[in-house]
Structure 1
Amino acid sequence: MPLWWGKQQVFENKAKISAVALLFCSQAFANDSVDVLHWWTSTSERGAVRFLQSKLLEDKIEWRDAAIPGGGGIGAMRVLKSRVLAGKQPAVAQLIGPAIAEWADLGLILELDNVAKNNAWPKTLSPTVNELLLHRGHTVAAPLGVHRINNLYYNAKLFRELGIAEPKTMDDFKRAALRLSAANITPLGQSTEAWQVATLFETLVLMEGGPAFYRDVFVRRNANAYLDPKFARALNRLRQMRAYTAYASNKSQRELSWTDIAQQFANGQVGMVIMGDWFKGELLTMGQKLEQQFACTTVPNTQNYHLYSIDSFVMFSGDYSQQTAQEKVAQLMVSPAIQQGYNRIKGSVSVRRDLDQKALAAMDRCAQSSWQTFNRGKAMQAPSLVHRMAADEKFKDAMVAQIQKFYLDDSISVQENQQRMAAMVRALNIQEGNTEQ
């Protein structure tokens, strides 16, 4: 056998071994690589995603990002439906509220019972969070954080300069608005974008009626509740709030994104904003210092209530080839280290109820108030309609559209809008076989 031939054989054998090893490694890596579809595209949200990616990589799992822009996840839901119909569903997808059960009904969602049992989720998670994850007795989602929506942010620097006290009542709010307006500063940063208008309104419904009335309106879908004087007061309050916004003096103002509003707030162009605590996360990412440049409190008359939305992800079953990696992702999402780091960036609070004093002390006062109020139980909680916690998409979209229409059109009286919304609720209840009133 010629020497060159032997060397050639050794070379070919090594090449084959290397190719097999490379193939094995690539397959192993692919098994631990998950495609994640979500709608987090702002600066702070991207920071939270990068944190999750880094933590998953420590456990040899690659988060392949599929971020879909669009306020409130509207675009992401459309993309998810089209991908599932095309047989190209992601391994992991952001789903929240009743949508989890709707997708689980289709038999497309991986059950995470072993993960929940092995990590004691029923014991360590807040009861409302744990219930949200269950479908027909099975755990079908992994939670990441709890957002509080009934927050009022004010420019602490401006308030100090103008001698304005933190608004604790609606009279305080009005006085602050008048003082800001006199200083040529827009009192309330508010977009005319439908979901942002409706976010403000659902906070006002909570203010006027409390959690029980709120649930009667948006969860139980009691048409008569829309004719209640408390609902009328919330509609009147929405019109009053509009007078403090830029829209009051410029009806042609374009629909600003919530991040545009955050930038205006950081620049000192507006004095106050009512928004979920993702707004705080965005301000911190901008370099704003809590208690120095801005401060966070609850909307007046809602300090004992928690209007909430819960970030959660589901795992699509497919051919179950990625089940091990998906279960690992779910486990890591609820781990204390990820809970602490993720929620600090995102602005939300932990889904865990077993936080110790050290973890609580590490939170700012806005986060402490959110976590403590949420964990006082359902009597204090109200699931957000706008942010997909209270009702299905069809009902939500109909309500949000009508609220925006009322906000923009002064020819619609409060009483007329009450009648319209009550009629819409009755019609939707009949269509869906929901006769509970």
Structure 2
Amino acid sequence: MMFKKTLMAMALGGTVAATAQAGEVEVLHWWTSGGEARSIAVLKEMVQDAGHTWKDFAVAGGGGENAYTVLRSRAVSGNPPAAAQIKGLEIQEWGDLGFLASLEDVANENNWDQVLPEVVSDVMKHDGDYVAAPVNVHRVNWMWANPDVFENAGVEMPTTLDELWDAADQLKAAGVTPIAHGGQPWQDATTFESIVLAVGGADFFADVFVDHDAEALESDTMTQAFREFKKVKDYIDRGAPGRDWNVATSMVIRGEAAMQFMGDWAKGEFTAANMTPGEDYACLPFPGTQGEFTFNIDSLAMFKQRTASNSEAQMKMAELVLSPEFQETFNLNKGSIPARTDMDMSAFDSCALASMDTFKQTANSGEGLVPSMAHGMSTTSTVQGAIYDTVTEFFNSDMSAEDATTRLARAIRAAQ
């Protein structure tokens, strides 16, 4: 509580001086991999071409945890960056503290409400005003497969959970590691949430991971999801514990494993290996989740600035983030799809086209589109951590599915 009071006091101290000139935007982010770095470099060039200065503040490692630590420190000292890579409910938390700048003028001038699906714009708004700009939409519930491995083993690619376990048995009998997995909590949670979606459907997924409904959490459906999740362990190799996700992807690329369950950022690894989707590798919805879309949205939240020039530069950058030019460049490199749905997709591959089709379909119908728990879109970081702990402990022990169900419900209640 004291930390929040300190932050609010610092936020109230951030005033904008009445000057108008070329400004500076300092951007805190963790887009440091090859494709990501190239993408953010394009935004830097666009900001500079608009007459402003870009100050890069890249904080690598930790999936954003390190960057959040730095951001909190900067905010307490009264010197937050112009923009920070923040997503999901974190945006609302910073907005509640009074730190974020309104982007309503930019949004209205550039018709953001018309080009962004409501599910995206809702995440970017605080108290009805845009305070963040989305850079992309990731689909999390993907299966990445090596078709040669399946073909050589005489196995069909699975489209349901029952088919998945049947295929895994056949692959294992053929001497192949069926599933490439990295035994890290967030990767365990990524696979677990896809299984929950496959077992219970989108409404049940939302009941559990968004609303934390007690009846859903303690249901037989939840127990069945845990039971199905534990089956994954029978089909991974001994080197899985602690393995990074991209190393698991490389196993599929090299034919050492048949498939991986991972978001569409994995596609960048296949692209870097000069592989073509539909030929050298396959991208399929996680078995049992066809027509459903678990989303993870990266975004830049804008912090109140002390000078008019820096505020002007910040607003220009927000405008550029949603420009078709940047949306195309960033997402081609990242493996994701543009946040805006009016884009020309001719430069994108078959995986991205399939992703955009499902995204539009679920966004328009209001059915099948759910926020990722594993990637910070559906709940608070505290609840997410409680889910991580339970899921990983279950996966790496002899805990029963019934006990896991009870523990998860209890852990979520305690974390709320």
TM-score, normalization by structure 2 = 0.89
Matched to 2:224, the amino acid is R
Contact 1:384 1:390 in 2 (8 A): yes
Instruction: Show the counterpart of 2:322.
Output: 334
Equivalent position of 2:10 in the other structure: none
For residue 44 of structure 2, give the secondary structure of its aligned residue in structure 1: helix
Q: Work out which of the residue numbers 368, 371, 374 in structure 2 matches 1:386.
A: 374
Look up the match of 1:34: 25
- Bigger radius of gyration, 1 or 2? 1
Is residue 2:84 matched to residue 1:84?
no
Match of 1:428 in 2: 415
Deviation string 1:247-303 (CA, Å, 9 cap, x unpaired) is: 4xx6xx541111222222222222100111011123213333222321101011111
Change (3 A) 1:312 1:155: same
Instruction: Give deviations 1:164-221, integer Å, cap 9, x for gaps.
Output: 3332223432343234323433211111111110111011111111111111101111
> Offset of 1:118 from its aligned partner?
0.2
Q: 1:63 to 1:162 in 2, by over 3 A?
A: farther
- Matched AA of 1:414: A
CA shift digits 1:94-139 (9 cap, x unpaired): 1111110110111111110100000000111111111111111211
- Tell me what 1:3 maps to: none
Counterpart Cα distance in 1 of 2:203 and 2:227: 20
Aligned to 2:4: none
In terms of mean alpha carbon deviation, does 295-304 or 158-167 score higher?
158-167
Residues 157 and 292 in structure 1, CA contact (< 8 A), matched pair in contact too: no
Corresponding residue number in structure 1 for 2:117: 126
| Contact 1:236 1:414 (8 Å CA) reproduced | yes
Using the TM superposition, name which of 163-172 and 414-423 deviates more.
163-172
Partner of 2:306: 319
In the other structure, the counterpart of 1:73 is: 64
Give the distance between the partners of 2:95 and 2:389, measured in 1 at CA. Answer: 27
Q: Which position in structure 1 is the counterpart of 2:14?
A: none
Contact 2:277 2:350 in 1 (8 A): no
SS in 1 for 2:84: strand
CA contact (8 A) 2:331 2:338 kept: yes
Query: Whole-Å Cα distance in 1 between the matches of residues 72 and 95 of structure 2?
Result: 14
2:349 — aligned with what? 364
3-state SS of paired residue (2:332): helix
Q: Give the aligned residue type for 2:347.
A: A
Q: Which amino acid aligns with 1:218?
A: F
Distance in 2, Cα, partners of 1:362 & 1:123: 23
Unaligned stretches of 5+ residues in structure 2 = 1-18
Q: 1:61 deviation in Å?
A: 4.2
Distance, in Å, in 2 between the alignment partners of 1:298 and 1:426 is: 31
The letter for the 2-side match of 1:316 is F
Q: Secondary structure at the match of 2:329?
A: helix
Structure 2 counterpart of 1:36, which letter? V
Q: RMSD in angstroms over aligned alpha carbons?
A: 2.1
State the shift of 1:361 in Å.
4.0
Task: Quickly say closer, same or farther: Cα 1:254–1:226, change in 2 above 3 A.
Answer: same
Taking the TM superposition and a 5 Å limit, the aligned residue runs for 1:134-173 are 134-173=125-164
Give matches, 1:11-410, under 5 Å: 31-247=22-238, 254-321=241-308, 322-355=310-343, 359-376=344-361, 377=363, 378-410=366-398
Does the aligned pair in 1 maintain the 2:277–2:351 contact within 8 Å? no
Q: Offset of 1:304 from its aligned partner?
A: 0.9
Kept after mapping to 1: 8 A contact 2:305/2:311: no
For 2:85, the aligned partner's letter is Q
Equivalent-residue separation in structure 2 for 1:49 and 1:176 (angstroms): 40
Distance 1:174 1:110, change over 3 A: same
2:295 aligned counterpart, secondary structure: strand
Q: Is the 8 A contact 1:44 1:285 kept in 2?
A: no
Which stretch has the larger CA shift, 69-78 or 315-324? 69-78
* Length-normalised TM-score, structure 1: 0.85
SS of match in other structure, 1:375? helix
Rate the CA distance shift 1:287–1:28 in 2: closer, same or farther, 3 A.
Answer: farther
